[in-house]
Structure 1
C-alpha cells in the first residue's frame, strides 16, 4: 500500500496549534454556565429597540477587562475582540466611559485604593484593556470583504483573540440591491456574507457574533442553510416591556428574559 503524505501550510499549522481563551461566562443569563463555546455563531436582531449596539458594548467590556489586576479581582474574561463596524453606531468614547464607570463600581470595595490612587488604577486598567480591542470600519460591502481578510491576518497573529463582532450584517443591503443586476432577498444576502466570514475564519475556533435588522426580515424568509450555521439566535424586542428572546439550538431550548436599563447598563433577568 502506498504511503499517503499529508501536508499543511504554515497558516494551517498556526491555526491548529493555537489555543484561544474561552468566552464562558460572557452572559450566563443568556448562554448559561458553559457557553458560548469556541466556534459558535450568534445572531442578534432587534425590533422597536436601539439596544443591540449597547449589548455588544457591554460584551466587549466583559471580554477585554482583565480577570485580575495586580491582585485585585476585576472579573473580566481577558480575551481579544475584533469589532467590525458597518452601522457606525458603536462609539469608542462611550465604551471608555462605560468601562471607567464599571471599574469604579468594582473598585469601591477597595477603600485603600480610592480616591487617592483609584483614578490612576482605573486609567491603567482602561489602557491595558483597550489593547485587546481592534476596530475595523467599513463604509461599503467591498471594504467589509477586505476587512474580513484583514481580520483573518490579525487573528492569526493574536492568539488571545477569541471573538469577532459584526454590527451589522445587513448594513449595505439596500445600497447593494439598488446597484445589483438581480434582486436578492435579505436572508440570502446575509447568508452569503456570513458564509464568507466563516470561510475566512475556518479552523481558528473564533466565536462570531453579528447583528441584523429584524424589521427588514420576514419570518418566512430565513434560509435553512443560515439556520444550520447558528448556535444562538437572540431577539431584542420592546412592546409592553423590553425583552430578549433566546433560542439555544445546542440544547434545543427557547426562553425569554426581561431587560432593565439602569444608568445606561442592560440588566438581563
Structure 2
C-alpha cells in the first residue's frame, strides 16, 4: 500500500532532525529560578516567563541583570557554607556592551565574603570562606555563563538562531538575557521599515521565542524608557498571559529632587498587579529599601 502526500500538505509533515543528546537536553528539567528575587518576584517566577526591564541611562538596568546573573550562577551551598545561589547556567546576549564581567566577579566576591558556615557540629570550621575557595567558586560559576557579543542587527538574528544549539547542549541553562533588545532599532528601520516601537519589540520577541520556547528558559531583556508602546501593560497584547508574552515589566526610575538624587524606584507590573520598591545603586548592586 502506498501513501501520497499532496504538495500543499507537505509542510505539515516536515520533521526536524535532532540527536538523542539534543532531545534529552530539550526534554530534561532545567534548574528552577523561582527564587531569583524575593523582592521583585515575591510569588516566584517560572521557567518560560519573559521579563522586560526598562529605564533611562544610569538607572541600574545592567547592574540589575548582573545581580540576577550572580544569583543564577552561584551554587546553593559549598561544603559547609550556605551561598544562596541557584546553581544554574545563563546566557547573556550583549548588544549595548555595558555588561562588565569584572563587575559580575566583584559582586560575586563581595557576596561570598559575607557567607558564613551553617554547620552545627562540634567540629571547629572557619567562619568565613577564604580567598582560595572564593576564587574556585567563582571560576566554577563562570564556567556556566555564556557571553555572546553582537555588533549589528544581522549578528543578533544569527545569534538568536544559534541559541537553539546552545540550549540543546547545555541542559543546565535556565536564563537568557538580552542587553538590550532595542539596540539595533534604527538599523532595522532603515532596512525593514518597521517604525512602531511596540511592533518592533513584538517581532524581535517572536523571532527569539521561535528559537527558544520549546526549551522553557526564562528570557529577560532590557530597553530604554522611551522605547515603549502608547498602551498600558494591561492593554498590551504582548502582556496577556500565554506563551511568548511578557510576564513581568520592571520600570526603573530616578526619584526627582536634590535630596533624593541617589534614590530610585522600581515599578514591577504584571497584567493584574503592580508594586513599587525603593532602591539605591552601590558597588554591590541594587540595594532595596523596602
TM-score (norm 2): 0.81
Deviation at 1:224, TM superposition (A): 3.5
Measured in 2, the distance between the counterparts of 1:72 and 1:264 equals 20
Match of 2:202 among 185, 188, 191: 191
Measured in 2, the distance between the counterparts of 1:90 and 1:213 equals 15
What are the ranges of 5 or more consecutive residues in structure 2 without an aligned counterpart?
1-12, 257-262
Matched, 1:256 2:276: yes
Decide which structure has the larger Cα Rg and report it: 2
Measured in 1, the distance between the counterparts of 2:30 and 2:193 equals 41
Aligned pair in 2 of structure 1 residues 150, 156: CA closer, same or farther (>3 Å)? same
1:71-86 superposed matches below 5 A: 71-86=80-95
SS of the equivalent of 2:107 reads helix
Deviation at 1:14, TM superposition (A): 3.2
What are the ranges of 5 or more consecutive residues in structure 1 without an aligned counterpart?
none
TM-score (norm 1): 0.87
Deviation at 1:108, TM superposition (A): 8.4
Deviation at 1:18, TM superposition (A): 1.1
Question: How many residues are matched?
Answer: 260
Match of 2:223 among 212, 221, 227: 212
Matched, 1:36 2:45: yes
SS of the equivalent of 2:115 reads helix
Measured in 2, the distance between the counterparts of 1:157 and 1:45 equals 31
Matched, 1:10 2:23: no
Q: Which residue is equivalent to 2:158? A: 146
Is contact 1:47-1:235 (8 Å) kept?
Answer: no
1:83-162 superposed matches below 5 A: 83-107=92-116, 112-113=125-126, 118-162=130-174
Measured in 2, the distance between the counterparts of 1:18 and 1:75 equals 24
Deviation at 1:90, TM superposition (A): 0.1
RMSD after superposition: 2.7
SS of the equivalent of 1:63 reads helix
